[in-house]
């Protein structure tokens, strides 16, 4: 007979991660009912933003903000991935197709803009974040509707500001509403506000004193873009995804239009201004925007087949008890996969690039790459470089590490010269994306992207040495591969090129320096590689997200947990053998219970998502539909591990009637 007590669960954060835990809890509760008496659960879902969508994906935001994964990629439903079958839900692409194939009743709750976007989208297209938020909201509503009699759910549209250990359990203090008590608390906090770096704080303070407009790092949907006057220069630090959001909001968002130019894939668009646009000056360390994704019908190019960093080969490292170092054990294999994919594609699409033909070159390259490094032997890179120099013209060669700094050590005589070089770079990138699987460079990047999933599995949960994690994986490789494989849809590169041709976007140059000139009372930006390139403006935007680092966050809840010793940052030992506080929380092995300041873990306090950035790599990426639960769909596995552990601890709870309440 079931006991009367109900296990109380607080999910703090109702975005994709928190909703995933809700889905897994309901799935495990349903599986438990099939085996015998159900387990009583009461779930409090706490978030000031809409359940399902949360903060980042809220449906009301600008439709100019796009996802950077195609529609075929993301999911909140695990499908048949786990033993506990989902009680409801579809992948994003399945949801999109269901809405298109269904009648008007299927589209209740969607706006006219939602319906229009759905009709113009395909599996390889890139949805707006607003539309993805509609999907996430729909997922939550499905879960709420499919709950059964031994689970109750209350949604609290407010913020949790404290969690305290009491004799009765974990007490949660809400910003607006009565305190709650829970037996289990799951932190699914997502993106949190963060403190500024000293240089950013100095800019903010000086800007306030001088009456300048400075926008710190922020989620783009949180920024009032209407505040930037037409025709005036705006400095932007960062040329990643946030820059593209800003760019679109200040151009098309103000009535401008992109029109087909008919001039080929490298100059596919022309921009017709409205006259309401400011003039953007963007700068970043590499000096160029992130590279565009290739136009593909799959997430990873179909022709990419990893030969060297395969899951089987990576698995042998762990099986043999080896804790790898990234530069020594993983990067050489990734590098070989990228080199082989590049020249294999070149041999297929442009055999004339090889002086003696690909049939002479490719077998020799295969032999070099397959041999790799042996004790006392010359490194394979040098041997391969000699072969490549002999057979391939310099302009057709792949120098993979140079891609991180395409203008490395190149001086420009004027800003106009630098703008022209960046525009040429953008047009070549757009043409490469249009070629899809027939572009050697995009295919090499596709191989790196495929290998990222393998690396993600290898390095999770202490799979990499501390110094390698700090100095290699997070130190140089993460920004390198993000600039290549985490870029925007190709359309955004075509658009920024069109804006550059229209004179509305300029590029400051590599390694830019931003400061305030006290004499003029303006922001200034310049690059040491561009002569006469200093730009002055009364406005500056940090075109980046707030830092994902628990040690600098300004979340009242997380700060309290750290200050009270219920949580602590994970420490690692650097190559200099000194302790370093990392960006994420210190947690146990899955199901990721928080380690307290004492070193002990709390049985009922769990975390998943961005705050696991010290035990996982790539925590911001959505779960991949049909992905491997150890890599592409890892966030779903984390949710399943946590839900299974909560159900294990809840076996003494009784049943209750299902209700969904909003407070």
11-45 pLDDT, tens digit per residue, is 999 999 999 999 999 999 999 888 887 778 999 99
Per-residue pLDDT for 350 more than 90? yes
H/E run at residue 16:
helix 16-35
Whether 661 shows a pLDDT value over 60: the answer reads no
pLDDT in tens, 263-296: 877 788 999 999 999 999 999 999 999 999 999 9
Predicted pLDDT of residue 652: 61
Rounded Cα distance between 189 and 585, Å, is: 12
Q: Give me 552's structure tokens.
A: 């600098």
Structural domains of the chain, with CATH? 7-193+549-662 (3.50.50.60), 198-290+489-542 (3.50.50.60), 311-411+427-485 (no CATH)
Q: Across the strands, what pairs with 580? A: 572
SS3 63: coil
Q: What angle do CA 585, 591, 595 make, to 5 degrees?
A: 35
Angle 45-37-658 from CA coordinates, rounded to 5°: 35
Distance separating the N- and C-terminal Cα atoms of the chain = 32
Q: Could you give the CA distance from residue 8 to residue 12 in angstroms, rounded to a whole number?
A: 13
Which residue, 507, 568, 499, 570, is CA-closest to 535? 507
Residues in CB range of 309: below 8 A, 6 or more apart: 330, 333, 334, 336, 337, 451, 454, 455
List pLDDT tens digits, range 237-249: 999 999 999 999 9
What average pLDDT score do residues 545-567 get? 96
Using DSSP, state whether 465 is helix, strand or coil: coil
Cα 646 to the center of its chain, rounded Å: 28
Task: Please give the C-alpha separations between residue 611 and each of 23, 190, 332, 616, 618, in angstroms, as whole numbers.
Answer: 20, 8, 29, 9, 11
Return the pLDDT at 4. Answer: 54
Main-chain phi, psi angles of 508, to 5 degrees:
-70, -40
Quote the CA–CA distance of 398 and 309 in Å, as a whole number. 19
pLDDT at residue 47 is higher than 50: yes
The tally of CA atoms less than 13 A away on the side-chain side of residue 399 is 16
pLDDT band at 657 (very low <50, low <70, confident <90, very high): very low
Q: How many beta carbons lie within 10 A of that of residue 588, not counting itself? A: 15
Residues 458-486: b if buried by 16+ CB within 10 A, e if exposed = bbbeebbbbbbbbbbbbbebebbbbbbbb
């Amino acid at each position: 007979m079931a006991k009367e007590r109900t296990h109380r669960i607080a999910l703090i954060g109702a975005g994709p991660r928190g909703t995933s835990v809700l889905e897994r809890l309901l799935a495990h509760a349903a599986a438990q009912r099939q085996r015998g008496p159900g387990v009583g659960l009461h779930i409090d879902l706490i978030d000031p933003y809409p359940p399902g969508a949360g903060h980042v994906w809220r449906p009301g935001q600008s439709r100019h903000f796009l996802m950077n994964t195609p529609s075929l990629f993301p999911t909140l439903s695990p499908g048949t991935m786990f033993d506990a079958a989902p009680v409801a839900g579809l992948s994003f692409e399945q949801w999109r197709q269901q809405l298109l194939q269904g009648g008007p009743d299927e589209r209740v709750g969607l706006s006219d803009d939602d319906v229009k976007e759905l009709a113009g989208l395909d599996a390889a297209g890139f949805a707006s974040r607003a539309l993805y938020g509609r999907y996430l909201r729909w997922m939550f509503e499905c879960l709420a509707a499919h709950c059964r009699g031994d689970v109750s759910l209350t949604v609290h549209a407010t913020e949790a500001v404290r969690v305290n250990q009491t004799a009765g359990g974990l007490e949660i203090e809400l910003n607006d509403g009565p305190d709650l008590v829970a037996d289990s608390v799951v932190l699914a906090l997502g993106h949190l506000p963060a403190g500024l770096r000293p240089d950013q704080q100095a800019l903010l303070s000086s800007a306030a004193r001088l009456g300048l407009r400075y926008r710190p790092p922020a989620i783009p949907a949180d920024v009032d873009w209407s505040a930037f006057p037409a025709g005036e220069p705006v400095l932007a630090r960062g040329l990643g995804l946030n820059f593209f959001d800003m760019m679109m909001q200040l151009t098309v968002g103000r009535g401008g239009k992109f029109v087909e130019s008919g001039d080929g894939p490298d100059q596919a668009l022309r921009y017709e201004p409205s006259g309401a646009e400011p003039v953007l000056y963007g700068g970043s360390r590499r000096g160029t925007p992130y590279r565009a994704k290739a136009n593909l019908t799959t997430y990873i190019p179909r022709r990419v087949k990893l030969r060297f960093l395969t899951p089987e080969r990576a698995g042998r490292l762990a099986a043999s008890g080896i804790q790898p170092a990234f530069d020594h054990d993983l990067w050489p294999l990734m590098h070989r996969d990228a080199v082989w994919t590049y020249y294999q594609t070149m041999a297929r699409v442009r055999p004339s690039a090889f002086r003696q033909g690909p049939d002479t070159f490719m077998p020799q390259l295969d032999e070099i790459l397959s041999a790799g490094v042996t004790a006392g032997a010359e490194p394979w890179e040098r041997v391969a470089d000699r072969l490549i120099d002999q057979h391939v013209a310099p302009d057709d060669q792949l120098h993979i590490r140079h891609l991180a700094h395409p203008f490395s050590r190149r001086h420009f005589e004027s800003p106009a010269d630098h703008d022209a070089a960046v525009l040429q770079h953008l047009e070549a990138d757009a043409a490469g994306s249009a070629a899809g699987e027939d572009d050697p460079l995009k295919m090499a990047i596709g191989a790196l992207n495929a290998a990222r999933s393998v690396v993600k599995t290898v390095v999770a949960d202490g799979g990499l040495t501390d110094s390698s994690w700090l100095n290699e994986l997070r130190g140089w490789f993460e920004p390198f591969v993000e600039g290549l494989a985490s870029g925007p849809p190709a359309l955004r590169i075509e658009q920024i090129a069109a804006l550059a041709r229209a004179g509305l976007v300029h590029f400051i140059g590599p390694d830019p320096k931003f400061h305030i000139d006290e004499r003029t009372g303006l922001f200034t930006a310049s690059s040491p590689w561009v002569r006469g390139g200093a730009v002055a403006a009364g406005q500056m935007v940090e075109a980046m997200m707030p830092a994902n680092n628990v040690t600098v966050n300004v979340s009242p809840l997380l700060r309290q947990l750290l200050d009270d010793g219920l949580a602590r940052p994970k420490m690692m030992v650097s190559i200099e053998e000194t302790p370093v506080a990392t960006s994420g929380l210190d947690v146990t092995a899955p199901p990721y219970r928080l380690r307290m300041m004492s070193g002990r873990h709390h049985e009922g306090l769990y975390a998943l998502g961005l705050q696991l950035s010290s035990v996982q790599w790539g925590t911001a990426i959505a779960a991949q539909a049909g992905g491997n639960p150890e890599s592409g769909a890892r966030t779903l596995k984390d949710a399943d591990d946590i839900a299974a552990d909560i159900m294990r601890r809840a076996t003494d709870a009784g049943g209750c009637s299902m209700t969904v309440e909003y407070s």
